[in-house]
Amino acid sequence: MRARWKSIALTAVLAALASGAATWVSATWVMRERQPPSLHSVVHEQLNLSAEQDGRLDAIEARFAARRPGLEAEVRAANRELAAAIAASDGNTPQVQAAVDHFHVAMGDLQKATIAHVFEMRSVLTPAQAEVFDAAVVDALRADAG
């Protein structure tokens, strides 16, 4: 009788694990399917780039890839500065406001560099390609806005 209960318990555990795995796989698939295509995939998979365009875009992307980590590091540093200022203050002090201002500048610098990068990429495209690209940019911004 004891072996029978072990068998039932093992079956229940395996069924629960299989159910959890199936749920995770299906949720991952659904979320991926609901995501709009990334700008990178639009550019490289939907625009039928010429070899010359592809080479120019690779160079543009490499330059931005080298610059972006520094901008993101500055945002993280400004965030840490803000956290430290709040932790050390009794309220909305000049130090907190200075840290907020630093954070806004860092975020603004990242956003401006990203927008400049997007327009630099766009400059390589034909008018028809730019139309598809622009729609993808607008869709991405709207998706991020909720």
Same-domain pairing of 112 and 138: yes
- So what's the pLDDT on residue 90? 87
Same-domain pairing of 42 and 64: yes
Structure tokens at 44: 């490289």
Same-domain pairing of 92 and 23: no
Structure tokens at 110: 């990242």
Structure tokens at 124: 């390589």
Residue 85: CATH number of its domain? 1.20.120.1490
Q: What is the mean pLDDT of residues 77-82?
A: 95
Same-domain pairing of 13 and 51: no
Same-domain pairing of 141 and 75: yes
Same-domain pairing of 136 and 89: yes
Cβ atoms of residues 125 and 133 within 8 Å:
yes
Q: pLDDT band at 119, cuts 50/70/90?
A: very high
Q: Domain of 1?
A: 1-35
* Tens digits of residue pLDDT in 29-69: 665 555 666 788 888 888 999 999 999 999 999 999 999 99
Kindly state the percentage of the chain with pLDDT values over 70. 81
Cβ atoms of residues 74 and 67 within 8 Å:
no
Same-domain pairing of 84 and 134: yes
Same-domain pairing of 62 and 90: yes
3-state secondary structure 47-91: CCCCHHHHHHHHHHHHHHHHHHHHHHHHHHHHHHHHHHHHHCCCC
Same-domain pairing of 28 and 96: no
- So what's the pLDDT on residue 29? 65
Same-domain pairing of 44 and 91: yes
Q: pLDDT band at 128, cuts 50/70/90?
A: very high
Whole-prediction pTM value? 0.69
Which is nearest to 39 in space by CA: 145, 125, 146, 138?
138
> In whole angstroms, what is the distance from residue 117 CA to residue 126 CA?
17
> In whole angstroms, what is the distance from residue 96 CA to residue 85 CA?
5
Counting the structural domains of the chain, the total is 2
Same-domain pairing of 30 and 49: no
Same-domain pairing of 47 and 77: yes
